[in-house]
């Protein structure tokens, strides 16, 4: 799979590190609004081509797939453009500003007979499969706590008055979209859509959230998603059944799973050693492109995630410019 990248931030570098260790994946071109940045990235990761013009990128027939790691507000437009030109798209989370955009993106994938997949690390991590496999040991599952709370250095900048896109309303930013989505998507992947949600947020002065909590209700079970970019926690996730409790850390890179039984027994699981778990989503993406593997499942999880993110924002009156629909 010959990749191009859109975006030059840290996450793109992590992606390109992972690409190096995935057989059959290769970087051939980079894109940035800033040509020098695109060139520097291309050079670092052995690509020959660097673009600052999207039209040149889409015209590059060598590029089979595009990894998009731009601000969230740009995902839909960029992804749809790439797909209309026959490129497969692996797009960073959150997939889009809202459900309407995400649906348009999947429609574009279908119309153009290409693959669109959200780059959502946990649900492609083998640790996640291990969790899923061990859930049946817990007895009736009653209570779930998923947590991703990590103080962001960008919040230091924010407090100094520098608004990076992760905290910008115009860029569909905020903690929910940036890190809350790990909790939401993990929950939906493991347990499906809840019957009901209720939520609260800590609003920042830009109109996006710095942290939040969501309670989701299932028949006979309740879950919480707890997330923050302005504070830090131990980031332990807990799935409590009537017979045992499963603990795991961290939600994004699942490297430790423990099951504590009520009767005192204890089990530990470690997923294979892995420095950069983006390799798993890249492998799954390539398998999806080649064989259509799990396409329906991941699409449903992504769309339901957007549905829940929309719901949480609605409950907390957090709107993005991208939500505006012209009524006239």
Distances (CA, A) of 107 to 30, 91, 316, 322: 26, 15, 29, 18
Q: Is 247 in the site for a second copy (CB under 8 A)?
A: yes
Rounded to an integer, what distance in angstroms lies between the CA atom of residue 100 and that of residue 102?
Answer: 5
Cβ proximity to a second copy, 17 vs 249, nearer residue? 249
Judged by CB under 8 A, the chain residues 256 through 275 that form the site for a second copy are 260, 262
Q: Is 314 in the site for a second copy (CB under 8 A)?
A: no
Q: Is 34 in the site for a second copy (CB under 8 A)?
A: no
User: Cis (ω within 30 of 0) for the bond into 94?
Assistant: yes
**Tokens encoding 249:** 């850390």
Task: Give the contacts of 312 (CB within 8 A, at least 6 positions apart).
Answer: 176, 180, 184, 197, 199, 201, 212, 214
From 212, 251, 288, 303, residue interacting with a second copy (rule: CB under 8 A): 212
Question: Least distance (Å) from a second copy to the CB of residue 270?
Answer: 19
Question: Least distance (Å) from a second copy to the CB of residue 12?
Answer: 26
From 164, 238, 287, 294, residue interacting with a second copy (rule: CB under 8 A): 238
Rounded to an integer, what distance in angstroms lies between the CA atom of residue 224 and that of residue 236?
Answer: 12
Backbone phi, psi, residue 239, to 5°: -125, 110
89: nearest Cα among 51, 48, 47, 118: 118
Q: Is 54 in the site for a second copy (CB under 8 A)?
A: no
Q: Is 224 in the site for a second copy (CB under 8 A)?
A: yes
Q: Which H/E stretch holds residue 237?
A: strand 237-241
Q: Is 220 in the site for a second copy (CB under 8 A)?
A: yes
Cβ proximity to a second copy, 215 vs 295, nearer residue? 215
* Total site size for a second copy, rule CB under 8 A: 38
Q: Is 242 in the site for a second copy (CB under 8 A)?
A: yes
| Binding site residues, a second copy, CB under 8 A | 142-143, 145, 149, 151, 155, 196, 198-202, 210-213, 215, 217, 220-222, 224, 226, 228, 230-234, 236, 238, 240-242, 245, 247, 260, 262
């Amino acid at each position: 799979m010959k990749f191009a990248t859109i975006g030059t931030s840290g996450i793109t570098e992590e992606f390109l590190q992972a690409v190096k260790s995935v057989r059959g994946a290769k970087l051939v071109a980079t894109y940035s609004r800033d040509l020098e940045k695109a060139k520097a990235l291309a050079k670092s990761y052995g690509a020959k081509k660097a673009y600052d013009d999207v039209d040149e990128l889409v015209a590059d027939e060598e590029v089979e797939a595009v990894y998009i790691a731009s601000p969230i507000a740009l995902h839909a437009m960029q992804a749809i453009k790439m797909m209309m030109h026959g490129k497969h798209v692996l797009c960073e989370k959150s997939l889009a500003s809202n459900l309407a955009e995400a649906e348009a993106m999947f429609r574009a994938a279908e119309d153009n007979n290409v693959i669109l997949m959200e780059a959502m690390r946990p649900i492609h991590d083998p640790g996640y499969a291990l969790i899923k496999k061990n859930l049946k040991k817990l007895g009736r599952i009653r209570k779930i706590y998923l947590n991703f709370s990590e103080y962001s250095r960008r919040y230091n900048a924010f407090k100094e008055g520098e608004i990076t896109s992760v905290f910008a309303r115009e860029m569909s930013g905020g903690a929910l979209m940036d890190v809350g989505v790990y909790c939401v998507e993990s929950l939906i992947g493991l347990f499906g859509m809840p019957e009901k949600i209720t939520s609260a947020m800590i609003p920042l002065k830009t109109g996006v959230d710095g942290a939040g909590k969501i309670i989701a209700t299932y028949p006979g079970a309740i879950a919480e998603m707890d997330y923050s970019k302005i504070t830090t926690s131990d980031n332990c996730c807990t799935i409590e059944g009537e017979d045992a409790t499963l603990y795991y850390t961290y939600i994004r890179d699942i490297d430790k799973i423990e099951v504590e039984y009520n009767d005192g027994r204890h089990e530990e699981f470690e997923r294979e050693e892995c420095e950069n778990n983006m390799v798993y989503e890249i492998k799954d993406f390539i398998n999806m492109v080649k064989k259509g593997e799990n396409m329906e499942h991941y699409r449903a999880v992504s769309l339901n995630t957007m549905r829940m993110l929309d719901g949480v924002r609605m409950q907390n009156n957090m709107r993005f410019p991208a939500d505006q629909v012209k009524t006239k």
